[in-house]
Amino acid sequence: MLVPIIAQLFVFLGSEPRIGSPLRLAILRVLRPAESAVRRLIVIAARGLVVKEVEPRPMPKGPIIAKGGTARPPSFQLFDPRKAFVRVRKPHRGTRIEPRITLIGYDPRIPLLWRTPAPQPKPEPAKPVDDGLIDARRLTRRLEALKLALGDLPRQARRLVRWQARRERLEFLRPTFKVPLRPGRPPGYRAEPTHDVDDILIECHRLALDAMRADTS
């Protein structure tokens, strides 16, 4: 069911490098739950999977170019984006101590000798014409990564197992999270489904939680 949904998103996105904000928001309303559903399918596929540990390689310098001179295909994000919690700092209300400076023989004309000339106002740069369109390249990359991940779930499952193994090795660095699914509702979840992708996400989320419980038992 996810394959025709992703194909439909590609049709709506088209080949235009820039799209309108309403179209972008409409695509994201389907893309986010679709990404969450595929992420849970990967968790299900990784249940009980054991892969050979790969030695870490140093990061290459410069852009990564695949064989044939083409750019490397986008990589699907294996973990849910975490919610950001903003910590509000209380203002410090301590007593401010003002320095007491006494000048002997002070002449009020002295500062005039050191006054710097007022800076000349810089000409304002020309503002780009706002056509109401938004760059769609990042959205296209996310769609491509989603399509590739859904087309090869076993490979994504192996990626997930290796990712979790790396997190376990980094115990001394205390990673912020070690499981791919965030607590609570998944990204893009809607309690009242308005699209086929909503029902798919609800079912995939239930199955993924069962798979994770079975792996830890």
pLDDT digits (tens, 9 = 90+) for 151-191: 999 999 999 999 988 887 776 566 677 889 999 999 999 99
Q: pTM to 2 decimals?
A: 0.74
Residue whose entry in the numeric block shows the structure tokens 């740069």: 125
Question: In the numeric block, which tokens belong to residue 55?
Answer: 């030695």
Per DSSP, 217 falls in state: -
Q: What percent of the chain has pLDDT over 90?
A: 52
Copy the structure tokens of residue 126: 């020309």
Can you tell me the distance from the alpha carbon of 96 to that of 170, in angstroms, rounded to the nearest whole number?
45
Q: Where are the alpha helices (DSSP H) in 100-136?
A: 110-113
The chain-wide mean pLDDT, for the chain, equals 84
